[in-house]
Amino acid sequence: MLSVLYSMPSVCPVFHAIYLSCIPDSPTMLSVALSLGAVLVFLLLLVVQRVRTEGAWALWWHDNYLEKLKDFLSGTTRPVRMLRHVQKVAEHGDAQSVLAAVDSYCSNVEWAMNVGDLKGQILDAVVLETRPRYVLELGTYCAYSTVRMGRLLPPGARLISIEMNPDYAQVARKILHHAGLDTQLTLISSDSPSPSCTQGEQPAEGTEQPSAQRRWRLQEALIYTTLHCLQLPLQLFSRNPPNPLGSSLPRDRSSERQQPGKLQTCKVEILVGSTSDLIPQLKKKLDIDTFDFVFIDHWKVSYLKDTKLLEECDLLRPGSVLLADNVICPGAPEYLHYVRTSPRYESQYFPSQLEYLQVEDGMEKSVFLG
Ligand SMILES: C[S@@+](CC[C@H](N)C(=O)[O-])C[C@H]1O[C@@H](n2cnc3c(N)ncnc32)[C@H](O)[C@@H]1O
């Protein structure tokens, strides 16, 4: 190695100047420089490995760094980029191909906070086991999980999904439309909550606009590019994690899934607003009695508050099933403590991994006992 480096000036005169400025004049100095370089590469690989395996690093990296940088560089948002990919590669009217398109995009191009395929299989299993007619989803985002549930629901079922970010709700409507699901987007005013079950308004989290994110420096762009390149070898050697449900998954019901071109009869309603505003209005404004199944997947700090709100508003019946995502990463400890210790619930944990990453996560299924 050293002999190759030291013979470079004789190979080409152009290298001579580079050689003089870059190669230290003694083998000792060169060893020091090479060692420092190796340490630097090691540290960068360590950061990349942390990002791939530790929840806090992963979420910081993907949500606070890469997304904002890509928004800045492309002038679009992640949901819009995901929608464009779906419209380009997924077959219109085929929910399964929409899910596959989102999964491949988020595994290979950019991470996103959909429930993902691995935990999606737990969601499928619980939906198939519960066979609900009235479903509530807290947190739509781009409707990946909405499509997942919608494709499994029987004719006449109602799937109501609440999303507080209007831009996400618009993308969700288009993705649901592409998947062939009968979708309606509704804006319900938040000024008249039902007096029987009111709670205070919660802060609108996650509504940061891309324009506020345009403060990136060249230095950060360089770090991003370097780390992104370093991720490639790690991706090559990464394996798909095992199915967390293993043999407890119910039998394959893929034949019941939507076929291309076939009209899906389950009705999806996206409500734009905050869960704390809308939950108290569901009975009156949407003519809902109780929900058979609730998928809880919005901001984790709201899990417990909104579960208590559902109870208070009599929207749960004995036997209603709650399934909460991300109970480990980012984590919902207060919610977990509540459903695991309350005599009103029978709760079960399903270990899994954070969507599209090798980071520990899990889902909690809780049956409301009354
Ligand atoms: C993890 S994402 C949902 C992912 C989606 N369920 C999926 O798997 O495809 C969480 C979403 O909840 C929304 N959200 C968070 N808190 C909310 C609240 N209190 N009311 C309504 N939407 C909320 C966020 O805007 C975000 O789009």
Distance, in Å, from the CA atom of 119 to the CA atom of 363, rounded to the nearest integer, reads 8
Distances in Å between the Cα of 220 and the Cα atoms of 64, 70, 368 are: 12, 12, 48
The verdict on the CB of residue 168 being under 6 Å from ligand 1 is yes
What are 133-153's pLDDT values in tens digits?
999 999 999 999 999 999 999
* Nearest atom within ligand 1 for CA of residue 142: 9
The verdict on the CB of residue 275 being under 6 Å from ligand 1 is yes
What are 291-304's pLDDT values in tens digits?
999 999 999 999 99
Query: What is the reported pLDDT for 195?
Result: 42
Among 120-124, 125-129, 192-196, 359-363, the range scoring the smallest mean pLDDT is 192-196
Q: Which residues contact 104 (CB under 8 A, 6 or more apart)?
A: 89
Active site residues: 297, 300, 325-326, 355
Q: How confident is the model at residue 342 (pLDDT cuts 50, 70, 90)?
A: very high
* Nearest atom within ligand 1 for CA of residue 116: 8
Query: What is the reported pLDDT for 18?
Result: 53
Return the higher-pLDDT residue of 187 and 348. Answer: 348
Assess contact for 365 and 336: CB atoms under 8 A.
no
User: Does residue 322 carry a pLDDT above 50?
Assistant: yes
Q: How far is the CA of 138 from the centre of ligand 1 (A)?
A: 6
The verdict on the CB of residue 113 being under 6 Å from ligand 1 is yes
Q: How confident is the model at residue 44 (pLDDT cuts 50, 70, 90)?
A: confident
Q: How far is the CA of 140 from the centre of ligand 1 (A)?
A: 5
- Listed by start position, the domains of the chain span 2-53, 72-201+252-368
Return the higher-pLDDT residue of 317 and 227. Answer: 317
* Nearest atom within ligand 1 for CA of residue 206: 25
For 65-122, give the secondary structure using H, E and C: HHHHHHHHHHCCCHHHHHHHHHHHHCCCCCHHHHHHHHHHHHHHCCCCCCCHHHHHHH
For 215, phi then psi, to 5°, come to -135, 40
Mean residue pLDDT of the chain comes to 81
Question: Which of 178, 170, 166, 169 minimizes the C-alpha distance to 86?
Answer: 178
Mean pLDDT of 336-343: 98
Return the higher-pLDDT residue of 236 and 35. Answer: 35
Distance, in Å, from the CA atom of 293 to the CA atom of 201, rounded to the nearest integer, reads 24
The verdict on the CB of residue 77 being under 6 Å from ligand 1 is no
Q: How far is the CA of 326 from the centre of ligand 1 (A)?
A: 12
The verdict on the CB of residue 111 being under 6 Å from ligand 1 is no
Q: How far is the CA of 248 from the centre of ligand 1 (A)?
A: 28
Residue nearest to atom 17 of ligand 1 (CA): 298
| 298, 307, 355: residue to mutate for ligand 1 pocket, most atoms within 8 A of CB | 298
| 123, 162, 163: residue to mutate for ligand 1 pocket, most atoms within 8 A of CB | 163
The verdict on the CB of residue 144 being under 6 Å from ligand 1 is yes
**pTM to 2 decimals?**
0.76
Query: What is the reported pLDDT for 182?
Result: 82
The verdict on the CB of residue 297 being under 6 Å from ligand 1 is yes
What are 153-188's pLDDT values in tens digits?
998 999 999 999 999 999 999 999 999 998 888 877
Q: How confident is the model at residue 347 (pLDDT cuts 50, 70, 90)?
A: very high
What are 98-114's pLDDT values in tens digits?
999 999 999 999 999 99
Q: What percent of the chain has pLDDT over 70?
A: 72
* The CATH number, out of the four listed (1.50.40.10, 3.40.50.150, 3.40.1160.10, 3.90.1150.10), of the domain defined by the range 72-201+252-368: 3.40.50.150
Among 93-97, 105-109, 256-260, the range scoring the smallest mean pLDDT is 256-260
Query: What is the reported pLDDT for 73?
Result: 85
Residue nearest to atom 26 of ligand 1 (CA): 141
User: Does residue 349 carry a pLDDT above 80?
Assistant: yes
Q: How far is the CA of 19 from the centre of ligand 1 (A)?
A: 55
What are 203-257's pLDDT values in tens digits?
333 334 445 444 444 544 454 455 555 555 445 444 444 443 444 443 434 334 4
Question: Per the omega criterion (within 30 degrees of 0), is the bond before 330 cis?
Answer: yes
Determine the Cα angle at 158 with ends 157 and 159, to 5°.
125
Please identify which residue in the block is written with the tokens 């009705």. 267
The verdict on the CB of residue 277 being under 6 Å from ligand 1 is no
Q: How confident is the model at residue 17 (pLDDT cuts 50, 70, 90)?
A: low
User: Does residue 37 carry a pLDDT above 80?
Assistant: yes
